[in-house]
A and B are shown apart, each in its own frame.
Chain A
Amino acid sequence: MLGLNFRDRSLFFIVIALTVLAPFILNPFPSESSLAQFNAGYPDLMQRFVIFGIFAIGFNILFGLTGYLSFGHAAFLGVGSYAAVWVFKLFTYNVLPAIILAVAVAGLFSLLIGYVSLRRSGIYFSILTLAFAQMSFALAYSVLSNPKFNLTNGETGLQVYADDPQWLHRDSLPDLPHLFGLSMRSNYQLDIGAWTFNFNVGYYLCVVIMLIVFYIAIRLFRSPFGMMLRAIKSNQQRLNYTGLNSRPYTLAAFVISGMYAGLAGGLMAAMDPLAGAERMQWTASGEVVLMVILGGAGTLIGPILGAGFIKYFENIFSKINDQILHQWFAFLPDGLEDFLVFIIHPFIGKGWHLTLGILFMLVVIFLPGGLVEGGQRLGKLFGRRKKTEDAAKDAANTPAE
């Protein structure tokens, strides 16, 4: 079914279940309880989980399969956002044309950058992509934003104003990004007892798109093309002496992953019709690298896990402050309470990067295969007896995992 083997199909269904039921899964705590701040089931954050999931899935096609480490993929995401917002400004708030144009523009842009950068490999490739991305950032931030020719609206960021033409807009349609009249912001709130669950149109649009592109990624991983990309990572010299030209293969992988990034950028603009230059900065490019490595480069589900993990930390840990800590440790004697808060203070709030950095180090040192390897080890620990020849055979058939 779906042209996938049993393992991939189960994985795909697990991802479907996780994403569709995310409003429940991410809101395990009653909304009035003191643990409610660990809830992540609000639309804005869930959208970001999925959008960065798409970004990371695409990045993994390039980095996980070919081993080419691009440090400039945020540029494609930014370009996608700008393209989408321009569609909102000029034509319509309907998200479909905006997303399509975002993917197309990011694809063209990555073709250009990839064509130049892929002349080199290894660290030189990384530096070239980084240079291109920083140039794009500088262009977006200042050069392409002057009174005569304002493409990006500089520091303020590109947004839709009341006097924008929007030629295809009608008054009956919502004045926000929508899909044929269905606003991205419309939200259905379900209260069950003390719990509150949010079902958001924008989130589910992102989910549908992510499932489509995740399916495409699985097919690509398991295709002869995916095998060629792994062969490039393994031994490029042998590939060339086997009559295969590695350049178009890497370029195709680069453009595909650039289009994924553009899609993520387009969706970001569709959820919130804004595009700022900071989306293209090198820290944003580095973040997707972290996501993929943390989740497990070269695995199918790893990037999604990594994206969710990092975005969760970014949003939840950064919100914990000293006051909350004092509440938690209120049962302790005063001196001890202050001492504990003092110890933990650097790791929370603005210091969440520190926590993330430590976690990242631990994962890279002890789980080089990322969270996926952690999961596999746990699985082995619990299910050693259950695994029979079947599983071994299956593993041999799917070496990428």
Chain B
Amino acid sequence: MGILEVKGVNKRFGGLQALGDVNLSVKENTVHAIIGPNGAGKSTLLNCLVGKLIPDTGSVMFDGQSVLGCKPHQINQMGISRVFQTPEIFSDLTVLENIMIPCFAKRDGSFRLHAFESFAQEKDILEKAEAILEDVNMADKRHMHSASMSRGDKRRLEMAMCLVQEPRLLLLDEPTAGMARADTNNTIDLLKQINDQRDITMCIIEHDMHVVFSLADRITVLAQGRPLVEDAPENIKGNPKVQEAYLGEVAA
């Protein structure tokens, strides 16, 4: 029994069958990659996991609890964090504030009216935020306006924001999309480091085969909304069905 169990999920947008009978089981403390060509339904699947979309039929269980019908913030409080395709951060806030917000969410739940407290009283939050900034080598940027950072730094910050919540499942939506090779390799290193240091399950949606094969323990291939194969990375590479779906892209 995996930490995340997706069973028989269907999602239809008008005449388009975006997801057809998708089954997925993500084992605890593994890195599970979901790959597939454009329009395969990868992002739709992810959106069904985080509460942005509700599947027409099927079930999504996280740690034995159904997430269907839950709001995004409720699902996050259950222990699922999400990294977006383009880094979603609080760009009007400083780096340190960006990190403190998930710390508050972790400690106080989805709402607390702390209108008359000052940050000086929140020693534990500050310490935790500073510690994670050290971890991701951003301590020197703590008072920087996060809008003025490079894309790679924004991605790093977003990951730090997710990690500081100590999620049980981290969902990554094309974490290296649009990145230069050097930034991509940095991101891979960061993800490897996260995977080595923490007990965390990761589910990655990715286009870049280089990223997938350097990280994943298990790969699911989606094509036209249906799971094609699920296997270990070494078996996926040679699979003729996968090669066909990608029209030879795998060779690159």
- Cα A98 to Cα B77 in complex, Å, equals 43
Supposing A219-B118, A242-B105 touch, asked if A231 and B93 sit within 8 A by C-beta, the answer is yes
- Considering the chains assembled together, what is the distance between the CA atoms of A242 and B116 in angstroms? 22
Shortest CB-to-CB span from A226 to chain B, Å, is: 7
Q: Is B90 an interface residue (CB 8 A)?
A: yes
Check: B10 CB closer than 8 A to any chain A CB: no
**Stretch of B27-35, B57-65, B94-102, B235-243 on the interface side:** B94-102
Total cross-chain contacts (CB, 8 A) = 110
Known: A220-B115, A223-B115, A244-B111. A230 touches B93 (CB 8 A): yes
Among the stretches B68-76, B132-140, B209-217, B220-228, the one at the interface with A is: B68-76
Report whether A237 and B88 are in contact in the complex, using a CB–CB cutoff of 8 Å. Answer: yes
Stretch of A21-29, A245-253, A309-317, A360-368 contacting B (4+ beta carbons < 8 Å) = A245-253
Kindly list 12 other residue pairs between chains A and B, CB separation below 8 angstroms, not including A216-B116, A240-B72: A220-B115, A225-B113, A225-B114, A227-B93, A234-B91, A234-B93, A235-B88, A241-B81, A244-B73, A245-B111, A399-B93, A399-B94
Q: Is B143 a contact partner of A228 (Cβ separation < 8 A)?
A: no
Q: How far apart sit A396 and B143, CA to CA, in the bound complex (Å)? A: 6
- Asked whether A228 lies within 8 Å of B110 as measured between CB atoms, the reply is no
* Interface residue B156 (Cβ < 8 Å from any Cβ of A): no
Q: How far is the CA of A227 from the CA of B119 in the complex (A)?
A: 10
Interface size on B, residues (CB 8 A): 38
Subset of 30 A-B contacts with CB under 8 Å: A219-B116, A222-B118, A222-B119, A223-B115, A223-B118, A224-B100, A224-B114, A225-B114, A225-B117, A227-B93, A227-B100, A230-B90, A230-B92, A230-B93, A231-B90, A234-B92, A235-B89, A239-B101, A241-B50, A241-B73, A242-B161, A242-B165, A243-B73, A243-B76, A243-B105, A244-B101, A244-B111, A245-B71, A393-B143, A396-B94
- Taking the closest CB of chain B, its distance from the CB of A245, in whole angstroms, is 4
Q: Known contacts being A222-B118, A224-B117, is A241 close to B100, with CB within 8 Å?
A: no
* Contacting residues, chain A, for B94 (C-beta < 8 A): 396, 399
Minimum Cβ distance to chain A for residue B1 (Å): 25
Q: Does A283 contact B (CB under 8 A)?
A: no
Q: Which of A225, A226, A238, A256 contacts B88 (CB 8 A)?
A: A238
Option from A220, A224, A235, A243 in Cβ contact (under 8 Å) with B77: A243
Whether B143 contacts A238 by the Cβ 8 Å rule is no
Given the complex of chains A and B, what is the CA–CA distance between A215 and B90 in angstroms? 27
Task: Tell me the smallest distance from the CB of A84 to a CB of chain B, in Å.
Answer: 25
CB of A3 within 8 Å of the partner chain: yes
Inter-chain contact B143/A397, CB cutoff 8 Å: yes
Inter-subunit contact B115/A226 (CB<8 Å): yes
Which parts of A364-401 form the interface with B (CB within 8 Å)? Answer: 393, 396-397, 399
By Cβ-Cβ distance, the 10 closest A-B pairs, closest first, are A243-B76, A396-B143, A243-B105, A234-B92, A225-B115, A245-B110, A234-B90, A248-B111, A238-B88, A240-B72
Q: Which residues of B contact A228 (CB under 8 A)?
A: 101, 104
Interface residues of chain B, those whose CB is within 8 Å of chain A, are 50, 71-73, 76-77, 81-82, 84, 88-94, 97, 100-102, 104-106, 109-111, 113-119, 122, 143, 145, 161, 165
Contact: B110 with A243, CB < 8 Å?
yes
Report the separation of the CA atoms of residues A220 and B119 in the bound assembly, to the nearest whole angstrom. 11
Does A233 count as interface, using CB distance less than 8 angstroms?
yes
Shortest Cβ distance from residue A67 to the other chain B in the assembled complex, whole angstroms? 10
A170 CA to B220 CA in the complex, in Å? Answer: 83
B122 contact set on A, CB distance < 8 A: 224
A170-218 contacts to B (CB < 8 Å): 216
Contacts of B113 in A (CB 8 A): 225, 252
Which of A228, A235, A239, A241 gathers the greatest number of chain B CB atoms within 10 Å?
Answer: A241
* Residues of the A chain whose Cβ atoms lie less than 8 Å from the Cβ of B77: 243
- What residues of A have a CB within 8 angstroms of the CB of B106 in the complex? 243
Q: Which residues of B contact A223 (CB under 8 A)?
A: 114-119
Give the CA-CA distance A37 to B115 in the complex, in Å.
43
Nearest residue, chain A, Cβ from B78: A243
A239 / chain B contacts, CB cutoff of 8 Å: 90, 101
Task: Tell me whether B105 and A3 are in contact (CB under 8 A).
Answer: no
Q: Which residues of B contact A256 (CB under 8 A)?
A: 115
A395, chain B: closest CB distance, angstroms: 9
